[in-house]
Amino acid sequence: MQIYLPIAALSVNLFFLVGIGAAVGFLSGLFGVGGGFLLTPLLIFSGVPPSVAVASVTGQVAAASTSGALSYWRRGGIDFHLALYLILSSLIGVLGGVATFSALRAAGQLDLVISVGYLLVLGAVGIIMMNEAVRAMLKRRAGVLPEKLASQHNWMHGLPLRIRFKRSKLYISVLPVLAIGVVIGFLGSLLGIGGGFIVVPALVYLLRVPGSVVVGTTLLQMVAMMAATIILQSVQSQSVDILLAFCLMVGGTIGAQFGASAGQYLRGEQLRFLLAALVLAVAARFGLSLVLPPTDPFSMTVIGPGGPL
């Protein structure tokens, strides 16, 4: 069953779109991440223009994050004080990211920047996650108990402008919190990723946010960040394809339920290892797209006042 995506200017099989959403939703439920870093590349590799893929996936990430945030809120797993600082700072990053997105699109360099950005971000995060997961599995096999993060401190805990976050039981500087929010807001709006696979490790390993509240707090921040992104993208770049986003949300909602159930049968380090392998595979695919010659080396594009049409 073919449907026409008006903004993407592309005819796509409906079941294919729902299937992609369901597959990524399953992986999101399995690994506990938003899935934007997987869904956006899959759409690009399927022929959807990168600008439309990035802008439209934000709606799916926002919907998935809302469902997760509500679940954690009912269980008391959200630090609203910490989430407020993350949201405010990420909105600043979103403004910069959307402006950069529009400028690169007008200059005709958006596709290249998205590919390079995914290669660098996913490559770096994947290597770090793989290293940490392998070390954790080797320690478990050797019978070594993991160290408690709460008892460890780093140089960030000595920074000024400290604020007490009662729900997280932390008394830390607000500067790294704001920095994390700005960076994630910028990358999320530019690359179409929720950033949960970056924010959660940053909050846990750098700021020592307890695991009981880190996921729920991050999901709440992602809801606000992605909602702001989709509104700004709709107004400024007109790249959001509502029909595409809706099909992905339907599939993602279904797949996430099965993924969450499957994730209960794997240990934490095993999940991190599989997620790291998946992240590195996507990064490698983008790397290949940068070095391999395209199938059609020539294309015709009408250049309008605001950039390529």
Tokens representing 74 are 């009912």
3-state secondary structure string across 99-136: HHHHHHHHHCCHHHHHHHHHHHHHHHHHHHHHHHHHHH
Within a domain: 305: no
For the chain, the distance separating the N- and C-terminal CA atoms, rounded to the nearest angstrom, is 27
Helix (H) or strand (E) holding 52: helix 50-74
Helix (H) or strand (E) holding 12: strand 10-13
Percentage of the chain with pLDDT > 70?
Answer: 78
Residue 238: which domain range?
A: 2-291
Structurally, the chain folds into a number of domains equal to 1
Within a domain: 303: no
Within a domain: 272: yes
Angle, helix 174-191 to helix 211-236, in steps of 10 degrees: 50
pLDDT value at position 154? 58
Within a domain: 238: yes
Within a domain: 88: yes
Tokens representing 112 are 């290249």
Closest CA to 194 of 236, 216, 168, 224: 224
The predicted-structure confidence for 20-58, as pLDDT tens digits, reads as follows 878 777 766 666 566 677 778 778 777 888 778 877 787
DSSP state letter for 147: P
pLDDT value at position 116? 85
Helix (H) or strand (E) holding 56: helix 50-74
Closest CA to 278 of 289, 266, 270: 270
pLDDT value at position 150? 47
Within a domain: 198: yes
Q: Which mean pLDDT values do the consecutive 10-residue runs of the chain (309 residues) have?
A: 77 81 72 69 80 78 73 80 89 89 83 82 81 79 61 62 80 85 86 73 77 77 82 76 80 70 61 75 78 59 50
Helix (H) or strand (E) holding 4: strand 2-5
Angle, helix 50-74 to helix 80-107, in steps of 10 degrees: 170
Within a domain: 9: yes
Within a domain: 200: yes
The number of angstroms, rounded, from the C-alpha of 103 to the middle of its chain's C-alpha atoms is 22
User: Hunting for tokens 């395209």 — which residue is that?
Assistant: 294
Q: Rounded to 5 degrees, what are φ and ψ at 109? A: -115, 10
